[in-house]
């Protein structure tokens, strides 16, 4: 082989070796199957959140322990601060039970998802607790009890079977209470309550629906020929949000009214701050003050605009006079001599 052909042969062999190496590397790379789908951004975020949740499990457990210890210490301090430790028993002995019947109608079970069922359960727990410590507790009824609600209570609150001063019934309220004694409380009713009649049975719709079934309780009361009414909220309170209240808020307002016999005091004691509630008389004063201030501002704006116009007139050159002089000059010039 000649010396001229040797470099060409070496060069071709190097190229072949490089091709073989690249083929080997490609064969060693993991090949994606046809069925493989890339993870979306939302799925990736979900996986990251799940990982963070798992990592913080111990931290959450520790926080729960600390919270329990803190509450235990608070209870101990409260018990020590009481002179005889029998304040709670003394309050319970002073209780005067009301004959008013207050019913939570749980017949809307099929219209709610589990998340809303859990919220309903918590609101019922709150109603039960408030009625137990109220100075004038009502005759508390839970009707049409079953379905998802009962299952959730069995799983998460087994002690409900031992609740006292409450009538929990699987039947509908119409099965054991006369129609003429019933008044359904619904914010869609045109009738406004003035006072509570303690011989009546007031029904609260046990529905947590985030306004998905608007007017349903009113329609049901009308269809069954049951009297209906709404709390006199608009007569005493001006709110930023809608007038629909949570079940436990309606329940607690009625308990507060039975104690104070004052609707305004009952509303402002119970309504949460997030509702932005203010008395209607103050709301009227505020609106009239806003109107007056707006009127004054309008008058000031008109005065300032008039002053500006007059100033512009003074500052502007007397164009009309100049035009007249120019016209007379032109007339004089145009007269033939």
What positions carry a catalytic annotation? 209
Measured distance CA(246)–CA(217) in Å, rounded: 14
C-alpha span between 250 and 130 (Å, rounded): 12
User: With the C-alpha atoms ordered 60, 64, 65, 66, is the resulting torsion angle positive or negative?
Assistant: positive
Residue by residue, DSSP assigns 37-72 as: -PPPHHHHHHHHHHHHHHHTHHHHHHHHHHHHHHHH
- Residue among 229, 274, 227 nearest 249 (CA): 274
Q: What is the CA radius of gyration of the chain?
A: 40
CA 273 to chain centre: 12
Rounded distance, CA 80 to CA 145, Å?
41
DSSP strands (E only) in the chain: 101-105, 139-143, 166-168, 182-185, 201-205, 227-229, 237-238, 278-279
Say if strands 278-279 and 237-238 run parallel, antiparallel, or are unpaired.
antiparallel
Rounded Cα distance between 64 and 42, Å, is: 30
- Contact between residue 145 and residue 106 where contact means Cβ atoms under 8 Å apart: yes
Give the Cα-Cα-Cα angle 197, 203, 209 (nearest 5 degrees): 145
CB 234 within 8 Å of CB 277? no
Q: How far apart are CA 164 and CA 56, in angstroms?
A: 39
Rounded Cα–Cα distance for residues 43 and 260 (Å):
55
Quote the CA–CA distance of 295 and 300 in Å, as a whole number: 9
Cα–Cα distance, 281 to 234 (Å, whole number) = 11
């Amino acid at each position: 082989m000649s010396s001229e052909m040797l470099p060409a042969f070496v060069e071709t062999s190097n190229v072949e070796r490089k091709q073989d190496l690249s083929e080997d590397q490609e064969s060693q790379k993991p090949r994606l199957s046809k069925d493989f789908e890339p993870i979306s951004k939302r799925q990736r975020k979900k996986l990251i959140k799940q990982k963070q949740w798992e990592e913080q499990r111990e931290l959450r457990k520790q926080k729960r322990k600390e919270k329990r210890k803190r509450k235990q210490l608070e209870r101990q301090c409260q018990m020590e601060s009481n002179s005889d430790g029998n304040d709670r028993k003394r309050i319970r002995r002073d209780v005067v039970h009301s004959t008013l019947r207050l019913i939570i109608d749980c017949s809307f079970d099929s219209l709610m998802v589990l998340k809303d069922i859990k919220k309903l359960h918590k609101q019922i727990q709150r109603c039960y607790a408030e009625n137990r410590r109220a100075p004038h507790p009502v005759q508390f009824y839970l009707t049409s009890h079953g379905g998802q609600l009962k299952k959730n209570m069995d799983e998460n609150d087994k002690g409900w079977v031992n609740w006292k001063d409450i009538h929990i019934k699987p039947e509908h309220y119409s099965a054991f209470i006369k129609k003429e004694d019933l008044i359904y409380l619904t914010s869609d009713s045109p009738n406004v309550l003035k006072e509570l009649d303690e011989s009546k049975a007031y029904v609260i719709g046990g529905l947590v629906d985030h306004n998905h079934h608007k007017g349903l309780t009113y329609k049901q009361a009308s269809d069954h020929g049951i009297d209906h009414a709404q709390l006199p909220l608009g007569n005493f309170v001006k709110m930023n949000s809608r007038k629909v209240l949570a079940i436990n808020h309606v329940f607690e307002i009625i308990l507060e009214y039975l104690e104070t016999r004052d609707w305004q005091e009952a509303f402002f004691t119970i309504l949460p701050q997030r509702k932005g509630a203010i008395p209607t008389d103050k709301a009227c004063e505020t609106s009239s003050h806003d109107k007056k201030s707006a009127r004054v501002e309008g008058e000031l704006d008109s005065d300032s605009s008039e002053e500006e116009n007059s100033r512009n007139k003074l500052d502007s050159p007397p164009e009309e006079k100049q035009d007249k002089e120019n016209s007379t000059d032109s007339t004089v010039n145009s007269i033939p001599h």
